[in-house]
């Protein structure tokens, strides 16, 4: 955590919960957020698409921001079942997660597609949270850093700035497994990502860009991860479904 980059705590609800769950979780967070005078972190929740409008209403004015879990790379058109960035922005999203490993795996998303999605999210006025991360096989083969560098090179939007883009480092082996990267592992990759960003967008912008850690982040491990020099918050899955846990993670950030 640096004093110049404002921590971001993002909750990825994935494909979980019905209307009553979305209402309850978002209102608990909104109430807590509204009570904090000047929070030292930004908070965003990313519910499933059908819950976005409902959650937008609940969190309105609270300071909790809304995000989407994905977006189509195009503005509109014949794309059955897809959702455009303009629609997401229109229902209140200010962030969009792109390139989550579950989408890369379940939907065969390539770096090029992730990049196009991130560029479309930015063009619609949202902040793209671009996910990258190595598999266990890649880590065991000594390719953790090179895999993340390559994904970053391929997925980073063309006009990426610290204002319109956030990177999420999510080791695939840590997502939903209860296995978390050690502080040394996390800092090594986050440091390498920032060094690569320096080459891609220049030192000044790289120094300002937020890099989140994601992968079994919980209240018990968030503090030591977020305290690392190049970790600027978290992208949280399982623990984001519990308001007290998610809030505790945010408090560890500020």
Q: Contact positions toward ligand PEP, by CB under 6 A?
A: 12, 170, 175-176, 214-217, 235-239
CA-closest candidate to residue 216, choices 189, 243, 235, 195 = 235
Smaller CB distance to ligand PEP: residue 47 or 201? Answer: 47
In the complex, residue closest to ligand PEP by CB? 237
DSSP letter, residue 74: S
Smaller CB distance to ligand PEP: residue 95 or 201? Answer: 95
Smaller CB distance to ligand PEP: residue 15 or 78? Answer: 15
170 included as an active-site residue: yes
Backbone phi and psi for residue 44, each to the nearest 5 degrees, phi listed first: -135, 140
Smaller CB distance to ligand PEP: residue 73 or 215? Answer: 215
Q: Output the smallest distance, CB 234 to ligand PEP, in A.
A: 8
Q: Are 170 and 129 in contact (CB under 8 A)?
A: no
CA–CA separation, 145 vs 189, rounded Å?
6
CA–CA separation, 44 vs 46, rounded Å?
7
Smaller CB distance to ligand PEP: residue 73 or 214? Answer: 214
Q: Which one of 72, 170, 190, 196 is the catalytic residue?
A: 170
Backbone phi and psi for residue 151, each to the nearest 5 degrees, phi listed first: -65, -40
100 included as an active-site residue: yes
The 3-class secondary structure across 214-227, one letter per residue, is ECCCCHHHHHHHHC
Q: Output the smallest distance, CB 235 to ligand PEP, in A.
A: 5
Q: Output the smallest distance, CB 217 to ligand PEP, in A.
A: 5
**CA atoms within a 13 Å half-sphere pointing along the CA-CB vector of 200:** 22
Q: Are 152 and 195 in contact (CB under 8 A)?
A: no
Q: Is 14 exposed, middle or buried (0-12, 13-18, 19+ CB in 10 A)?
A: middle
Q: Output the smallest distance, CB 44 to ligand PEP, in A.
A: 13
Q: Which two tokens stand for residue 167?
A: 């990177």
Q: Output the smallest distance, CB 16 to ligand PEP, in A.
A: 10
Q: Enumerate the active-site residues.
A: 100, 170
């Amino acid at each position: 955590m640096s004093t110049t980059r404002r921590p971001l705590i993002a909750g990825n609800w994935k494909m979980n919960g019905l209307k009553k769950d979305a209402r309850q979780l978002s209102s608990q967070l909104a109430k807590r957020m509204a009570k904090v005078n000047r929070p030292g972190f930004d908070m965003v929740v990313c519910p499933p698409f059908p819950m976005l409008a409902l959650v937008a209403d609940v969190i309105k004015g609270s300071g909790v921001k809304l995000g989407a879990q994905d977006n189509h790379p195009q503005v509109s058109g014949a794309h059955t079942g897809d959702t455009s960035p303009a629609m997401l922005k229109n229902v209140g999203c200010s962030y969009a997660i792109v390139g989550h490993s579950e989408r890369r795996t379940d939907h065969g998303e390539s770096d090029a597609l992730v990049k196009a999605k991130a560029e479309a999210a930015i063009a619609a006025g949202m902040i793209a949270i671009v996910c990258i991360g190595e598999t266990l096989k890649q880590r065991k083969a000594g390719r953790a850093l090179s895999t993340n560098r390559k994904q970053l090179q391929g997925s980073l939007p063309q006009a990426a700035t610290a204002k319109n883009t956030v990177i999420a480092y999510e080791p695939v082996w840590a997502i939903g497994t209860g296995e978390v990267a050690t502080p040394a592992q996390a800092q090594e990759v986050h440091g390498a990502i920032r060094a690569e960003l320096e080459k891609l967008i220049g030192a000044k912008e790289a120094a300002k860009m937020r890099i989140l850690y994601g992968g079994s982040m919980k209240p018990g491990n968030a503090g030591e991860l977020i305290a690392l020099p190049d970790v600027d918050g978290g992208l949280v899955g399982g623990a984001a479904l519990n308001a007290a846990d998610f809030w505790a993670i945010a408090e560890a950030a500020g």
